[in-house]
Structure 1
Amino acid sequence: MLDEAKEKLQHHFGYETFLNGQERILHHVMQRQSVLGIMPTGGGKSVCYQIPSLMLPGITIVISPLISLMKDQVDEAREAGIPATFINSSLSYDEMQERMDLLRRGECRLLYVAPERLSNQEFLRQLQSIPVSLAAVDEAHCLSQWGHDFRPAYMEIPRFLSFTGSDTAVLALTATATPQVAEDISHALDIPPDQMVKTGFARENLTFSVVKGQNREAYIVDYVKKRKNQPGIIYANTRKEVEKLWEKLNKEGIAVEKYHGGMEAAERETAQERFVYDEVTVMAATTAFGMGINKSNVRFVLHARMPRNIESYYQEAGRAGRDGDPGDCTLLFSPQDAGTHQFLIDQSHLDEDRKDKEYRKLRQMIHYCHTEDCLQNEMLRYFGEEPQDPCGRCLNCTDNRTLEDVTEEAQMVFSCVKRMRERFGKTITAQVLAGSSNEKIRTLNLHTLPTYGLMKNKTQKDVASFIDFLAAHAYLSLSDGAYPVLMLTNAAIDVLRGTERVMRKETLTAETVSSEDPLFEELRQLRLELAKQHGVAPYMVFSDKTLKEFCRYRPQRESEMMEIKGVGRQKLETYGEAFLGVLQRAAAGEVKS
């Protein structure tokens, strides 16, 4: 059975071996068992249900959260020679009937639906006559109330599985699951602990950076200009900020689109298509431009502001480098971002237990922004994995800025926290140290403390940022709740005693990324033309990685082209001749390289 699966992999996708975790997942699925796959973005989750759809006797249903992505998902499967369709609210009754007939006749074996469809009685009635071999739950973290994208409609899935019967295998897939979220998914879908396949959260091709204390707008413009022709996403927290970034980048001559919830649905769809189809290189968006973005060649994801939690950041940043080539993930941090998120949590209608969890997640996100340890290891810890050797790629690992001894300033902060009897939070502590004449400080008599004004040569904002740094490095801990109180840890006591020093790195500019190989540019232009002719996104023709392999190995005949990763029989028949023509002209010296 595995040999047959490998043959399908080669024929439809052009790869000879499975990626880490895929084989183990397929083993469970082909045995009609339930399995949870936790694999990073770009780890090949879709292959884990696309290949079984070709081998199992009944149909495979993929429960996918966004109907706006279903057409892309179906197009991508069809480009690989896998008959697929979707049913959602965009279809007329007659169109839906036509697709159900295709499924009944076995002419189509892969069906995408949104979770809301599972409670539609007409859909369930028609499905009674069609055996379901596999139910794949994409973005399965939406099942957990403690996940960052909880979606109530996902709670219909267990009832739907009872309807399809015990012969239906269940495959839950997600890129972001803390141990608590994984437990919730397993419990909801009745997946045994030994049927969880976790390939690890490390993304070896991504470079993570946190940039602090910069003029955001100027940094973003400089950053994008130095990545000419490189596709990228810039995330902002508000519609207003997206509009401002879009306007600024447009004025700078950058091919940019915008995407946010305040736009009409048709406008958003056009913007997404222009980005996915390589008509523009940059997308400025809120997180409404969300999960499941299938564009494989995104080279950078830039966060103009800090997300609320590490799960959201990991998923959004992980949209870079899905093709396995290098991707850059940069987060621009300002302490005021934390205050905005804290206010929004405080004003939300969540119950107190949920609010406390959100506050805790926010503090972990802030710690990530301030740590000077390996950023990848910081993420691994969050998701319950043991840290590895430092990644050697992230900003913290490669930063060659000189270390500054800030022990004296740290002692000032610790003394102040101690004098205030560990009863106040970051804002009040920063005000006392900066010597604020705030009325509240005087009412509480905090201006009489010996530590009042100890750091008056710094702004209150700088002092608050320094406190964040100390908290990120576990010199200070914070209580739970809306108004966390600062407390000293044992590490801070050692610094106060003079037995330990506190060191801090000092500021950055974006690096220029070298321009692409002219042959690669010609192949990319050909890919764009072919994609338009076939009505698909360019990455569905061949990935950037495959184009780079063409540039490297210069295949001159079909048999040589089949040796390139990502070239399956279906794509060779559809596109091979056109690409071979360019490669043969390059070999004859007719194309610059």
Structure 2
Amino acid sequence: MDSDLSARALDQLQTVFGYPAFRGQQKEIVEHVASGGDALVLMPTGGGKSLCYQIPALLRDGVGVVVSPLIALMQDQVDALAEVGVRAAFLNSTQTYEESMRIERLVRTGEIDLVYVAPERLMTQRCLDLFQASKIALFAIDEAHCVSQWGHDFRPEYIKLSILHEQFPDVPRIALTATADQQTRAEIALRLQLGDARQFVSSFDRPNIRYQIVEKANGRKQLLDFITTEHGSDAGIVYCLSRKKVEETADFLNENGIRALPYHAGMDYPKRSANQARFLREESIVMVATIAFGMGIDKPDVRFVCHLDLPKSIEGYYQETGRAGRDGMPASAWMAYGLQDVVLQRRMIDESEADETFKRVLSMKLDAMLGLCETLSCRRVRLLEYFGEQSTPCGNCDTCLIPPVSFDGTVPVQKLLSAIYRVDQRFAAGHVIDVLRGVETDRIKQWHHDSLSVYGIGSERTEAEWRAILRQAIAIGLITVDHEVYSSLKLTDAARPVLKGGQKVQLRQYQKPVKQKRAPGATSKPHVEMELSKSEQAIFEKLRWWRMETARAHNVPAYVIFVDATLREIAKAKPTSLQELRGVTGVGEKKLVSYGDEIVAIIMEMS
């Protein structure tokens, strides 16, 4: 590799972005793309994907074009680049005609380094003609998993992006995503005509995130206990499946002293945008949202991501939980999960208008998600295994910290299967469990189910215990739910050997939900040291206050000025000159000029 190119890449990293060295595969990717090569990059959220196209765009002649579906966030992305001295702009539908003309002129004359454009805008003849008439350094296709019809964020317009290869064959392209299994990866390469591109696959592990999945009893109350116990004044995201649940959960949290905002596609655009802006710019806000929220959110200090409903796939779960702890500091991924989640997700697949092949893919993805929820082993191991990565128990998830108790569940499962069979596979979960427990209800008497041999054979277990057993039996494919006939439970072919005693079933022991307690200490070390002395903490708080006022004056999110990790490092280093401040991670030359004197003055004042 050209040593001059390598030196220039490092110089850009240090002087513009303020980082002392590349991380992981960043250096290799930057040099490959800057040399004119195509690349497909898989890197976890917070891993530094943006630098992989920003630095090559600065090194190459011309303008770097970033294709992104995130119109609502383009302004923030451009503002963040302006703060480090990179000339950037965007072209999208929010601009006036005059503003678009001005940006197009800058692109044509090469007076900017990067331009962000939505895929719909890119596909217009006007935009293609603009790029044909301009010197283009590279095309970066961000959130590339959107091209996959099997993925969780499919965007039809992404499929047309193969036009970049056809119309600009000599311009390097880099496709980037945080989430893609082998099948999605292959589809990205195929649809974007990146078959010859080098693939860079980083580790999917996020060791600073603690994964926790609890038995759902009263989901909202459990959520409140979790937030108040673990993350009282932190910023976080709570995902719900429906718009109604989003609104109700946000109201519930506000009523209980948690500052929460709703976000879903059914809201008016101005209100939705205002809530997103508040979440990005203010401290200690919890965003309650559907999956319409989150892609491209760069807020580094999100300390927790919660799910009140089961995600459809591990890809979706990984993408959503990955929005926590982008700064490398400890963060939580918490989920409340119960029988109704399984039934609802199965019903959504069965009732979708997708063809049978696609339904099979959705079912397989849901099975993998259920496997993660029901696993008796380390959640991180199971999660990474899904993406083809081997690992060892992390010591930092709930199943490592408090190992679940497993038991031979063959007999109770046989009782459950028998009860479903004896009621002619025509009744839903509640009725079947009532039969097992020997409950006297009008419905049981009406159908004479109190005279069945299975009536009362499971009276030793509570309703909650039977629901946990049923949920696991559905998860491992012994039982299915027929949504066309009143959500009735039916046996699958896989149930036969269990009923006949030829196959054992291992289950998780039901644990009665208890009030959230602070989890024991994690063994995984965060990437950034949190501990500050009393005097350092005082400096840190003063710097945060200064950052908040500065961000408000610049009308940008606080983290665009400096992230917490940089302020912590400044508080520890206590630089008393610009030269000493220059060595701090995250302080590039432009920020040194813009803010150096103010920071040094704060340090001197408090020393």
Mapped contact 1:424–1:486 kept (Cα < 8 A): no
Moved more, 519-528 or 92-101: 519-528
| Residues 1:284 and 2:293 aligned together | no
Name the structure 1 match of 2:212.
209
- Give the Å deviation of 1:490: 12
Q: Quick one: structure 1 residues 186 and 435, their matched pair in 2 at CA, closer, same or farther if it must change by over 3 Å?
A: farther
Q: Distance in 2 between matches of 1:169 and 1:243?
A: 44
Q: Distance in 1 between matches of 2:546 and 2:34?
A: 39
What whole-Å deviation, never above 9, does each CA across 1:21-46 have from its counterpart, x for those lacking one? 21222232123121110111001010
Q: Please tell me the residue identity of whatever aligns with 2:216.
A: G
Q: Distance in 2 between matches of 1:279 and 1:584?
A: 27
Unaligned runs of 5+ in 2: 484-488, 520-529
Q: Quick one: structure 1 residues 159 and 255, their matched pair in 2 at CA, closer, same or farther if it must change by over 3 Å?
A: same
> Structure 2 matches for 1:447-458, cutoff 5 A?
450-458=453-461
Name the structure 1 match of 2:345.
341
1:534 to 554, 578, 599: 554
2:540 to 520, 523, 531: 520
Q: Please tell me the residue identity of whatever aligns with 1:134.
A: L
Name the structure 2 match of 1:134.
138
2:509 to 504, 520, 534: 504
Q: Distance in 1 between matches of 2:508 and 2:316?
A: 30
- Give the Å deviation of 1:564: 1.7
Moved more, 531-540 or 506-515: 506-515
| Residues 1:50 and 2:54 aligned together | yes
Name the structure 2 match of 1:224.
227
Name the structure 2 match of 1:564.
584
Mapped contact 1:310–1:379 kept (Cα < 8 A): yes
Number of residues of Structure 1 aligned to a counterpart in Structure 2: 579
Moved more, 250-259 or 432-441: 432-441
What whole-Å deviation, never above 9, does each CA across 1:109-140 have from its counterpart, x for those lacking one? 21111111122112222222102231111111
| Residues 1:159 and 2:163 aligned together | yes
Q: Quick one: structure 1 residues 2 and 443, their matched pair in 2 at CA, closer, same or farther if it must change by over 3 Å?
A: farther
Mapped contact 2:415–2:458 kept (Cα < 8 A): no
Moved more, 349-358 or 551-560: 551-560
Name the structure 2 match of 1:353.
357
Mapped contact 1:359–1:481 kept (Cα < 8 A): no
2:98 to 79, 94, 99: 94
2:400 to 397, 401, 415: 397
- Give the Å deviation of 1:228: 3.0
Mapped contact 2:420–2:491 kept (Cα < 8 A): no
Q: Please tell me the residue identity of whatever aligns with 1:160.
A: L
| Residues 1:586 and 2:606 aligned together | yes
What whole-Å deviation, never above 9, does each CA across 1:470-527 have from its counterpart, x for those lacking one? 666x6x6568998884465999699x68999766373454345999944333221211
- Give the Å deviation of 1:414: 3.4
> Structure 2 matches for 1:71-82, cutoff 5 A?
71-82=75-86
Q: Distance in 2 between matches of 1:420 and 1:341?
A: 21
Q: Distance in 1 between matches of 2:308 and 2:345?
A: 14
Q: Quick one: structure 1 residues 274 and 502, their matched pair in 2 at CA, closer, same or farther if it must change by over 3 Å?
A: closer
Q: Quick one: structure 1 residues 584 and 489, their matched pair in 2 at CA, closer, same or farther if it must change by over 3 Å?
A: farther
TM-score (norm. length: structure 2):
0.87
- Give the Å deviation of 1:532: 0.9
Mapped contact 1:77–1:84 kept (Cα < 8 A): yes
Q: Distance in 1 between matches of 2:588 and 2:150?
A: 40
Q: Quick one: structure 1 residues 26 and 477, their matched pair in 2 at CA, closer, same or farther if it must change by over 3 Å?
A: farther
Mapped contact 2:465–2:510 kept (Cα < 8 A): no
- Give the Å deviation of 1:4: 0.8
Name the structure 2 match of 1:183.
186
Q: Distance in 2 between matches of 1:485 and 1:493?
A: 10
Moved more, 283-292 or 84-93: 283-292
| Residues 1:29 and 2:33 aligned together | yes
Mapped contact 1:133–1:167 kept (Cα < 8 A): no
Q: Distance in 1 between matches of 2:462 and 2:195?
A: 54
Q: Distance in 2 between matches of 1:221 and 1:534?
A: 34
- Give the Å deviation of 1:222: 2.6
Name the structure 1 match of 2:467.
464
Moved more, 561-570 or 146-155: 561-570
Mapped contact 1:233–1:301 kept (Cα < 8 A): yes
> Structure 2 matches for 1:365-444, cutoff 5 A?
365-386=369-390, 388-399=391-402, 403=405, 406-407=407-408, 409-414=409-414, 416-417=416-417, 427=429, 433-434=436-437
Q: Distance in 2 between matches of 1:442 and 1:183?
A: 56
- Give the Å deviation of 1:301: 0.9
- Give the Å deviation of 1:467: 3.3
Q: Distance in 2 between matches of 1:169 and 1:195?
A: 12
> Structure 2 matches for 1:193-204, cutoff 5 A?
195-204=198-207
What whole-Å deviation, never above 9, does each CA across 1:206-258 have from its counterpart, x for those lacking one? 11110113422222223323323311111122222222222222223333222
Q: Quick one: structure 1 residues 26 and 485, their matched pair in 2 at CA, closer, same or farther if it must change by over 3 Å?
A: farther
Q: Distance in 2 between matches of 1:485 and 1:578?
A: 70
Mapped contact 1:367–1:468 kept (Cα < 8 A): no
What whole-Å deviation, never above 9, does each CA across 1:194-217 have from its counterpart, x for those lacking one? 711100211111111101134222
Name the structure 2 match of 1:591.
none
What whole-Å deviation, never above 9, does each CA across 1:536-575 have from its counterpart, x for those lacking one? 1101111111112223332222222222211111111112
Q: Distance in 1 between matches of 2:314 and 2:504?
A: 33
2:304 to 300, 304, 309: 300
Mapped contact 2:305–2:333 kept (Cα < 8 A): yes
Match of 1:210, SS state, is strand
| Residues 1:106 and 2:110 aligned together | yes
Mapped contact 2:251–2:260 kept (Cα < 8 A): no
Q: Cα RMSD over matched residues?
A: 3.2
Q: Distance in 1 between matches of 2:555 and 2:276?
A: 15
Q: Please tell me the residue identity of whatever aligns with 2:138.
A: L
Q: Quick one: structure 1 residues 436 and 108, their matched pair in 2 at CA, closer, same or farther if it must change by over 3 Å?
A: farther
Mapped contact 1:141–1:185 kept (Cα < 8 A): yes
Q: Distance in 1 between matches of 2:591 and 2:572?
A: 19
Name the structure 1 match of 2:24.
20
Match of 1:299, SS state, is strand
1:550 to 570, 573, 595: 570
Mapped contact 2:260–2:285 kept (Cα < 8 A): yes
Q: Quick one: structure 1 residues 332 and 167, their matched pair in 2 at CA, closer, same or farther if it must change by over 3 Å?
A: same
Q: Quick one: structure 1 residues 244 and 480, their matched pair in 2 at CA, closer, same or farther if it must change by over 3 Å?
A: closer
Q: Distance in 2 between matches of 1:190 and 1:161?
A: 7
Q: Distance in 2 between matches of 1:545 and 1:389?
A: 28
Q: Please tell me the residue identity of whatever aligns with 1:547.
A: L
Moved more, 462-471 or 23-32: 462-471
- Give the Å deviation of 1:356: 2.1
Mapped contact 2:339–2:470 kept (Cα < 8 A): no
What whole-Å deviation, never above 9, does each CA across 1:429-472 have from its counterpart, x for those lacking one? 75664457899999999988755532234455532322333666
Match of 1:267, SS state, is helix
Mapped contact 1:234–1:285 kept (Cα < 8 A): yes
- Give the Å deviation of 1:179: 0.6
Q: Quick one: structure 1 residues 439 and 143, their matched pair in 2 at CA, closer, same or farther if it must change by over 3 Å?
A: farther
Mapped contact 2:343–2:481 kept (Cα < 8 A): no
Q: Which runs of 4+ in 1 moved over 4 A?
A: 418-432, 434-452, 476-494, 496-503, 511-516
Q: Please tell me the residue identity of whatever aligns with 2:471.
A: D
- Give the Å deviation of 1:424: 6.4
- Give the Å deviation of 1:261: 2.0
Q: Distance in 2 between matches of 1:54 and 1:86?
A: 16
Match of 1:301, SS state, is strand
Match of 2:16, SS state, is helix
Q: Please tell me the residue identity of whatever aligns with 1:157.
A: L
Name the structure 1 match of 2:523.
none
